[in-house]
Amino acid sequence: MLGIKSINIHNLSIWVEQAKTQAAQGKVIERIPKLAMANPNSFAVYISCESGENYSLGDTDCVFPFMSVIKPFSLLYLLEYYGEKQVLQWVGIKPSDAPFNSLLQLKEDHGYPRNPMINSGAITLADKLPGKDGHECTQLFCNWLNKLAGTQIYIDTDILASVRASHSQINIDIANYLYESGNLNNIELSLDVYEQICCISGRVEDLAKLGRILACKSEFINDKHRQTVNTVMLTCGLYEASAEYAVKIGLPIKSGIGGGLVAIIPNQGAMPSASAAIASYSPALDIVGNPVAGLALMETLSQNLQLSIFC
């Protein structure tokens, strides 16, 4: 078994250049003005290993909003805060075969969100974050992550203003239906917190450090909660493309429309020290909403280094 320890910077640079050529197959999101300004050819990767070794290439100084990449971490936060039994009463863990913002699927499921990686599930969980108002809810969550991972992430108020200026009507409709179904306590609060946590921003290094929370065993995080989040990422993290990439890559992965992508190489049997997180930034998206070049790199790394958890 090769594993992440066998990587070298020469091969990584070759694989990055190959992946970057795929950006032309995607398109930067246009609905949110600030995100529409991103350079579709920007690319960065950061690999953070439990052994302490790090590898990085590309536009690593780029700061970008994590958007939906934050969803696994809000799930972990609430699992730690409330416990699994309570959280799974609010949201399911089944894969979705519909787009991430599907109201139709939510109605078919009678208002019970299919999983926490799609908008209905994440909006539901945003409603449950501890705190007296939207700002405190988000700040407590952001502070928790910074302390746990040693990151410097923050709420980007410029991005947040852009999101609010071009607010998603479908998310409002989802929140209204969740409220009607008894799954939200407060429509305005849930949308406020959801928009704020999606605008938590940082660099690829920060995203990789967050990923290490899920990759490595820790005295600070319940191991069962970590396993639950990783499993949901594997089956749901890339929306309706999740099953395809579970076969191609075989790792828990979460994407975001801001161009972020994080893949988890968790503790595995006889090689616990080989755990790591791989984060990338590439804002050109496919039709599902996943970063094209980032996924191309993850697939190349997984296949060449035999990273799949099924190897």
219 pLDDT above the threshold of 60: yes
Over residues 299-309, the mean pLDDT reads 95
Q: What is the model's pLDDT at position 271?
A: 54
Over residues 115-133, the mean pLDDT reads 97
pLDDT band at 1 (very low <50, low <70, confident <90, very high): low
Instruction: Note the pTM of the prediction, 2 decimals.
Output: 0.96
Over residues 235-245, the mean pLDDT reads 96
Over residues 159-170, the mean pLDDT reads 94
* Residue (of 92, 156, 102) closest to 124 by Cα position: 92
pLDDT band at 244 (very low <50, low <70, confident <90, very high): very high
Q: What is the model's pLDDT at position 261?
A: 98
Q: What is the model's pLDDT at position 122?
A: 98
Strands in the chain per DSSP E: 44-49, 54-58, 64-65, 154-155, 200-202, 253-255, 260-265, 276-281
Q: What is the model's pLDDT at position 267?
A: 76
120's enclosing H/E stretch is: helix 119-126
pLDDT tens per residue, range 268-291:
654 556 899 999 999 999 999 999
Q: What is the model's pLDDT at position 58?
A: 97
On whether the CB atoms of residues 283 and 24 are closer than 8 A, the answer is no
Q: What is the model's pLDDT at position 78?
A: 98
Q: Beta partners for 279?
A: 46, 262
pLDDT band at 3 (very low <50, low <70, confident <90, very high): confident
Q: What angle do CA 187, 192, 196 make, to 5 degrees?
A: 150
